[in-house]
Amino acid sequence: MPSAGRPLSVGATTGRRLRFVAAAILVVGLTSAIWIYLAAAPVTGDTLGYNAEESKQYLRTMELYGGKANVLAAELRQWFEGLWHGTRLAYTVACASVLLAGIFWFAAASEE
């Protein structure tokens, strides 16, 4: 903390700004995540009653044509696509805002 007679150094000013940016990112991100969570539509079931891409026959055919790597790649793609819908989007936004705010906070700590 600087005394009353000494001006703030450039690093302290930059650190203060970065902490402010981190706090703003955290507040906006978590507020957005809460809003997305509350506004998310409830998940409805498939019209068929099951997901055809999860059937044993489909998975066996995928493994036959592309091997286990094909099955794993398809599962990874489905998981990644699921992050951008409904309540999972709210969790994704919350985690991303906490991570980004942490990066700015760490940068502010290293400036001083």
pLDDT digits over 44-102, tens only? 655 666 677 778 888 889 889 989 999 899 889 988 988 888 899 999 999 999 999 99
- Predicted pLDDT of residue 84: 87
In this model, does residue 4 exceed pLDDT 60? Answer: no
- Predicted pLDDT of residue 78: 87
One-letter amino acid for residue 102 of the chain: G
Has this prediction a pTM greater than 0.85?
no
Give residues with Cβ within 8 angstroms of 54, minimum separation 6: none
- Predicted pLDDT of residue 11: 60
In this model, does residue 21 exceed pLDDT 60? Answer: yes
- Predicted pLDDT of residue 5: 52
**Exposed (0-12), middle (13-18) or buried (19+): which is 89, by Cβ within 10 Å?**
middle
For the chain, the domains span 10-40+52-111
- Predicted pLDDT of residue 82: 85
Residue 55, SS3 per DSSP: coil
Greater model confidence, 97 or 4: 97
- Predicted pLDDT of residue 58: 87
The gap from C-alpha 107 to its chain's centroid, in whole angstroms, comes to: 20
